[in-house]
Structure 1
Amino acid sequence: MRQLSPKITPWLNQFNQQMAVLEANGYKPTCTNIREGLAYLTAVFVTDIPKIAWVQDDLVKSTGYPVPVRIYHPSPDHALPVLVYFHGGGHMAGSITVYDAICRKIAQAAKHIVISVDYRLAPECPYPAAVEDAYHVVKNIWHVLDDRKLNYLPQLSIGGDSAGGALSATVANKLQFEPNTPLHAQVLIYPSLDYTLSSASVVENGVGNLLSTKKVTWYFNHYFQHQEDRKTASPLFAEFSNKLPPTLVISAEFCPLRDEGIDYLAKLKKVGVATDHLHFSDLPHTFLNLENLVKEECQRTYQSIGAWLNLNKSI
């Protein structure tokens, strides 16, 4: 029988009770309170912030919009491979500041230079602004590293969580037929890959598990503002070839997006792409942002990301 981790259940029950009271008193989601909520949640539960030897902000050139990034180099005297990371937040929330500790942990665990991307958010900047930002950062990041005279290896991986996973998979799809931008690997953490919300887990886990189907629908309605074909925009329904990067998917049993990641892996396997899957049978979506409640699980996640990026696939 499925059972949510007792490490999270008391907090989640309290959270659901508080949300019920707020809604009874007229609460409505706005981009402001959604952004504040994710920032507050992360600040409260991700308090172990490792020191990284070199951290600086920069801009990556793009068509019309210079994209802010934060660069984490855990060992500036050594040439390290590069990971471009896209934060989660439903395409409406999150930032390089909110995800600072998480990106530090990835850089430390994987021994990679991590590029955290502050892509544009909806509703101010709807689809496809975030996709354009993500694509241009991946294409042009080498120029920034060269200008900074950083020690790096020309080995590029990409990844992200939730909406950031959608951006990563979308960029991977765009690049699979561009031989001048090879991707070493991809890491998708409870990724959003189906904008049509057609998976069974969307219904099964859509109420009471922190990320609700109602909230995801609200996110997507603000992200897609011009009657775009959401199926065409979904990485799960894009073209799959063996040119896609080796991909690790990290999923959570009580996440409404669970099945999307699993189905994506199946399609990768079908075309011969190397894959691996780390599944947590008792956790909800967004568990990396709840680290103090599930420290061992988060530690395993970071260790697994490092192993995959360094091509040690024994997870």
Structure 2
Amino acid sequence: MRQLSPKISPWLASFNQQLSTMQANGYKPTCTNVREGLAYLTAAFVTDIPAIPWVQDDLVPSPRYKVPVRIYHPNPNRALPVLIYFHGGGHMAGSITVYDAICRKIAIAAQHIVVSADYRLAPECPYPAGADDAYTVVKNIWVVLDQRQLQYQRQLSIGGDSAGGALSATVASIVQFDPAIDIHAQLLIYPSLDYTLSAPSLDENNNGYLINKEKVTWYFNNYFQQNEDRKTASPLFAEFSAKLPPTLVISAEFCPLRDEGIAYLARLRKAGVASDHLHFADLPHAFLNLENLIKEECQRTYQNIGAWLNLKKTA
């Protein structure tokens, strides 16, 4: 029998009650309040912010848009591999500021230089702006690191959570046939991979678990504004080859996006791509943003991320 963790269920019940009251009083989502909501939630529950000896903001060059990034080097005296991280937020919310503590923890756990990308958000900048920015950062990050004269290994991994996972998988799909870009590994944390909203878990986990099908639909309607083919845009339905990067998928049982990550794993394995799966049977979507409620589970997540990024991958 499925059961939500007792560490999180009392808070989630209170959250759902407050949301119900707000809706009864006329609340409706806007880009402003969803951004504030994710920022407040993360600030309230991710309060352990570890020190990193070298953190700086920069811009990744591009003819169309210079993408802001924040670079975390956990050991400036060592040449470390690089992870580009794309934050979550439904393509409408989140930022490098909101995800600062999470990226610090990944940098320390993995002993990687973490580059957090502040890609453009909908509705102001709809599809494909965010995906273009993600590709820009992956393609041009070495220029920025060289300009900064940082010590690094030319080993590049990519990853993200939720919508950031969608961006990571989209870039991985594009560069799998580009010999100029080599992706060592990919990290997908409760990723959004199917813009057609066809996964059964969207209905199974539709009520009371932070996000639901209606909210995800609203996100995507703001993201896609020109009647794009959403199936074509979905990483889950893109071409899969053995040239895709080895991938760790982290999923949660009570996440509406659960089945998308599991289906993506199946397609990777069928294509002969090394992959691994970390599943939490009692957690909801966005649990890394709720760390103070589930510290052991978050610590386990960071430990697995570090191990995966540093493992030599074989199919």
TM-score in same-fold range (> 0.5): yes
Name the aligned partner's letter for residue 216 of structure 1.
Answer: V
Residue 100 in 1 paired to residue 88 in 2? no
- Per-residue deviation, 1:180: 1.0
Structure 1 gaps, min length 5: none
Instruction: Using the TM superposition, name which of 18-27 and 303-312 deviates more.
Output: 303-312
Give the structure 2 partner of residue 6 of structure 1: 6
Give the structure 2 partner of residue 123 of structure 1: 123
Hey, what's the Cα distance between the residues in 1 that align with 2:105 and 2:148?
Answer: 22
Give the structure 2 partner of residue 143 of structure 1: 143
Give the TM-score, by structure 1 length. 0.99
- Per-residue deviation, 1:312: 6.4
Q: Deviations over 1:211-232 (max 9, x none)?
A: 1111101000000000000000
Percent of paired sites with the same residue: 78
- Per-residue deviation, 1:266: 0.2
Q: How does 1:121-270 map to 2 (within 5 A)?
A: 121-270=121-270
Name the aligned partner's letter for residue 228 of structure 2.
Answer: E
Q: Helix, strand or coil: the match of 1:206?
A: coil
Residue 71 in 1 paired to residue 71 in 2? yes
Hey, what's the Cα distance between the residues in 2 that align with 1:90 and 1:25?
Answer: 25
Name the aligned partner's letter for residue 77 of structure 1.
Answer: N
- Per-residue deviation, 1:206: 1.2
Structure 2 gaps, min length 5: none
Q: Helix, strand or coil: the match of 1:98?
A: coil
Residue 17 in 1 paired to residue 28 in 2? no
- Per-residue deviation, 1:63: 3.0
Q: Deviations over 1:159-180 (max 9, x none)?
A: 0000000000000000000011
Q: Helix, strand or coil: the match of 1:21?
A: helix
Q: Deviations over 1:138-183 (max 9, x none)?
A: 0000000000000000000000000000000000000000011000
Q: Helix, strand or coil: the match of 2:154?
A: strand
Hey, what's the Cα distance between the residues in 1 that align with 2:189 and 2:136?
Answer: 22
Hey, what's the Cα distance between the residues in 1 that align with 2:61 and 2:206?
Answer: 39
RMSD (Å) for aligned C-alpha atoms: 0.7
Hey, what's the Cα distance between the residues in 1 that align with 2:63 and 2:301?
Answer: 35
Residue 302 in 1 paired to residue 298 in 2? no
Hey, what's the Cα distance between the residues in 2 that align with 1:106 and 1:62?
Answer: 27
Residue 29 in 1 paired to residue 33 in 2? no
- Per-residue deviation, 1:126: 0.1
- Per-residue deviation, 1:65: 0.5
Hey, what's the Cα distance between the residues in 1 that align with 2:160 and 2:92?
Answer: 15
Q: Helix, strand or coil: the match of 1:174?
A: helix
Give the structure 2 partner of residue 276 of structure 1: 276
Q: Helix, strand or coil: the match of 2:43?
A: helix
- Per-residue deviation, 1:198: 0.1
Q: Helix, strand or coil: the match of 2:183?
A: coil
Hey, what's the Cα distance between the residues in 1 that align with 2:63 and 2:272?
Answer: 34
Q: Deviations over 1:123-149 (max 9, x none)?
A: 000000000000010000000000000
Hey, what's the Cα distance between the residues in 2 that align with 1:261 and 1:292?
Answer: 25
Q: How does 1:79-90 map to 2 (within 5 A)?
A: 79-90=79-90
